[in-house]
């Protein structure tokens, strides 16, 4: 098995675990953990497999750009989704009185 094949298999396996986590967990906040993981390790491994085969070609450069965009925009999208879900569920983004605790 070549290194590129290993990266590809590991990347797809990571994405599969993240997809299964999204299906299994019922709470939107638990699902966000798997959505966040789906934007980091899996795409990086798949991108590394593409880069190992297409080093400095147009496909390799496009892969680098897409990997950077996923790494930068993935967490921002995750935060925006979490804030929207919190606002829908609790009516506000800030901590509730229960979450603040006594004091």
Does the structure show a pLDDT above 80 at 103?
Answer: no
Does the structure show a pLDDT above 70 at 36?
Answer: yes
Neighbours of 58 (CB within 10 A): 8
42-98 per-position pLDDT tens digit: 888 988 888 888 777 887 888 888 888 988 898 899 999 999 999 998 888 888 878
> Hey, is 92 helix, strand or coil?
coil
12's CB contacts (< 8 A; 6+ apart) are 42, 46
101: left (phi over 0), alpha (psi -120 to 50) or beta: left
pLDDT at residue 67, rounded to an integer: 85
Half-sphere exposure of 21 (CA within 13 A, CB side): 17
Greater model confidence, 103 or 82:
82
């Amino acid at each position: 098995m070549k290194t590129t094949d290993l990266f590809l298999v590991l990347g797809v396996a990571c994405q599969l675990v993240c997809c299964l986590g999204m299906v299994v967990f019922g709470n939107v906040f638990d699902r966000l953990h798997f959505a966040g993981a789906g934007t980091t390790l899996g795409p990086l491994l798949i991108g590394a497999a593409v880069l190992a085969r297409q080093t400095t070609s147009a496909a390799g450069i496009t892969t680098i750009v897409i990997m950077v965009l996923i790494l930068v925009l993935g967490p921002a999208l995750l935060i925006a989704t979490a804030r929207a879900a919190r606002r829908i569920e609790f009516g506000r983004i800030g901590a509730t009185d229960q979450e603040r605790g006594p004091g």
